[in-house]
């Protein structure tokens, strides 16, 4: 038997005022639709992957800012230290 309402399986397990809850829910969000509209599926299947890709790009930029830039600064400081040591060695200071 097909469920008539998306809340049926929830209320099978929970003792709750079902009619009162449905009434408040419909007053807040509008009537409960049994069928999903085309715009719902477009938003799920098109905008969902776009948001995931945007999140991955943001994570990549975060990785670049948090890992590669500090590592490049450390590498640059290491190079500067090496160059100073080589100059000091060349001039006989060390």
What is the 3-state secondary structure of 10-48? Answer: HHHHCCCCHHHHHHHHHHHHCCCCCCCCHHHHHHHHHHH
Domain residue ranges in the chain = 69-94
CA distance 34 to 79: 66
For the entire predicted model, the pTM comes to 0.37
pLDDT greater than 90 at residue 53:
yes
Residues 81-92, mean pLDDT to the nearest whole number = 93
Q: Answer yes or no: are the C-beta atoms of 46 and 20 closer than 8 Å.
A: no
Name which residue leads in pLDDT, 38 or 17: 38
CA distance 84 to 68: 24
């Amino acid at each position: 038997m097909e469920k008539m309402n998306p809340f049926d399986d929830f209320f099978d397990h929970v003792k709750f005022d079902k009619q009162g809850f449905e009434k408040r829910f419909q007053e807040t969000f509008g009537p409960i639709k049994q069928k999903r509209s085309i715009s719902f599926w477009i938003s799920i299947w098109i905008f969902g992957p776009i948001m995931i890709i945007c999140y991955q790009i943001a994570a990549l930029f975060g990785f670049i800012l948090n890992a590669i830039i500090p590592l490049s600064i450390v590498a640059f400081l290491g190079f500067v230290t090496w160059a100073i040591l080589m100059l000091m060695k060349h001039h006989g200071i060390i």
